[in-house]
Chains A and B, each alone.
Chain A
Amino acid sequence: MELIEARPEGLYCPPGDFHIDPWRPVARAVVTHAHGDHARPGSAHYLATREGEHVLRARLPDATIDTIAYGERVVHGGVTVSLHPAGHVLGSAQVRVEYRGEVWVVSGDYKLQHDPTCTAFEPLRAHAFVTESTFGLPIYRWRDPSVVAAEIAQWWRANADAGRTSLLFCYAFGKAQRIAALLANLGAEAIGPLACHGAMIALNDAYRAAGVVLPAIVHASALDPDLASRALVLAPPSAAGTPWLRRFGDFATAFASGWMQVRAARRRRGVDRGFVLSDHVDWPGLGAAIDASAASRVLVTHGDASVVVRWLRERGLAADTLATEFADEGEPEA
């Protein structure tokens, strides 16, 4: 019997009788973070982090949710469960499961890079480590996020000086707030107003309610028309190429995502610029997290799982894929 196994409804812990990030309604769901493909409605009871409570309640308004602090332990059916920072988005957690001396850690989505809007990834030791592999190829190697933020600011300034609104597409939950915070840390608001698409307002509010410091971000429709051409507007990728854009006169577009590392992907998006900023772990980070876990078994979920599994096996680790229904194309929309 495995301590955590893949069931039709999702990852399941048999002795504890609970699921982790189930994709179908279950009795007990431990949720790593509030992204749509990990926190799905319909389950009878949810367990999540206190840090992520506001965003999770915003996503699942009718759910029964219990929250615990990072590191706090809960025992159920002889299984000790605790949630630890994953560094992915606000409130994101790795799930540590211990039963009769055996420890498994389910990473959820995570990154090792610095992010001013959420608690940093905490390396955990485990016998078995279940990890995501969204960017599981050596070509995905991130740079210092402050450097990327400086490039975004430079692009913003050049557009503002040319009288063009800067339209930056990014995922509404996590990425948008992280970019706003990074830009504020650089003092970039001196360039012009920061605005966002309506889809992001509730999430910005949830971040602030949780105590994250964000700069002022106005609703795009509330932008002062005289200042609009100097604004940076954050919008979800689904807004690209839609009539929503018509309200901006002359504008330049960009997309902030780890997928922008590759030129062909930038061209497919049809934006003027791509900024390589991701909330998922890169190849070097994946290796570091696996090393830090000292796990003798690694199970790999969504992404380039087969590549990572083969790489680990060639290094002498017992590795396998774990079939899940998490978004395989990378980050979900919101």
Chain B
Amino acid sequence: MERFARLCEELAEARDDAERFARLCAYFRGVDADDASVAARLLGGGRPPRGIGRTRLRDAALRASGLPRWLFDACHREAGNLAETIALVLPLRQPAPSRSLASWVRERVLPLATLHPDEAAARLVDDWLALDVAARIVHTHLAAGTFRPPVTPALVARALASRDGADAVDVPEAATRERAEATMSRDDARYRITAVLIYAERATPKGYALGKYTFAVWDERDGTRRLTPIAKLDVDGDDDRAALDATVRSTTSERFGPVRSVTPTLVCEISFDAIARSTRRKSGLALRGPRFVRRLPERAVDEAATLASLLALLEGAKGAI
């Protein structure tokens, strides 16, 4: 379990896909088929059934930390992330034998969903005390059903395939898709949504390389369903840009000067710091600090987020941001 948590941390901190691939390969080569299968399933987006709710998580951690509520909240404000706050305020890890990922998930994660909430909370505290900081964070996300893979399913599949000569590994099927609404969980103090690529623009007037990419969400305001742009971004990673450019070239439907309009086929995940109303934009919204996170090539275009869910974020966030 600690090893898997370290892998997740390394994947999140890796500079590019090449490094992520190398880390994944090293991990898969170093674990047995059971763990490789479970890890692949989790990294591919297959989450255990939703378990403990956020409030219950926080209350269990609050009691176990021994801190007064106001101090716990001060820590939460500083860390900006509940799972990380919990990991950092609980007493230091007690010595415990290290467990394989597979046995951990089967014995400590899956049962949580079946227990009475109070019992699940008590179990959770025992779990936390047996883990180090990184593993606590992963475990909290698994327990809450909010684990978000720090890597694309395609990369996981490629890395898994490199585990040749080893015993057969159960390759995960495509994870069940949730409605990809704008998420309410402010992990890492940034919001995330899924959006559809609709335009790409040349980086410089004379150059050939593409620079800015425009993403859209489903707008159902007047009874019809159409894609409305909500953000125009740079994309930093070479691998991401290469993949986006390939998609753009093969799906371009029209050109207006430096701008290419594409047939909507590609869903991506983007993150942003905050959201505000805008009278200048077609969508009526402006995202603050939008950034490209990753491509979701297996996500159906129909399942990208809706404008309604963004508006709900705006309403929910009033006074909070």
Contact = CB atoms under 8 A, between A and B. Distances in A.
A266 to B, nearest CB: 8
B71 A262 contact: no
A137 B188 contact: no
B64 interface: no
B175 interface: no
B189 A138 contact: no
Interface string B65-82: 101101100110011110
A167 B99 CA distance: 35
B194 interface: no
A267 interface: yes
A137 B75 contact: yes
Contacts of B79: 139, 262-264
Interface of B: 13, 15, 65, 67-68, 70-71, 74-75, 78-81, 84-85, 88-89, 92, 188-189
Contacts of A264: 79-81, 188-189
Contact of B84 (A137, A141, A263, A310): A263
A141 B88 contact: yes
A139 B85 contact: yes
Contact of A139 (B13, B15, B70, B88): B88
Given A262-B80, A264-B188, A307-B74, A273 B85 contact: no
Contacts of B88: 138-139, 141, 261-262
A263 B9 CA distance: 10
Interface in A252-273: 252, 261-264, 266-267, 272-273
Contacts of B188: 263-264, 267
- In this complex, the interface size class of chain A, counting residues with CB under 8 Å from chain B, is 10 to 19
B119 to A, nearest CB: 27
Interface string A139-177: 101000000000000000000000000000000000000
* 4 tightest Cβ-Cβ pairs between the two chains A and B: A139-B88, A264-B80, A139-B75, A262-B79
A127 B189 CA distance: 43
A139 B79 CA distance: 8
A141 B92 contact: yes
A314 interface: yes
Nearest to A136: B74
- Most chain A CB neighbours (cut-off 10 Å) among B67, B74, B92: B74
A33 to B, nearest CB: 26
Nearest to B189: A264
A272 B13 contact: yes
Contacts of A138: 65, 67, 71, 75, 88-89
Nearest to A138: B89
Contacts of B67: 138
Given A139-B89, A272-B13, A314 B68 contact: yes
13 contacts: A137-B71, A137-B75, A138-B65, A139-B85, A141-B88, A262-B80, A262-B84, A264-B79, A266-B13, A267-B188, A272-B13, A307-B71, A310-B71
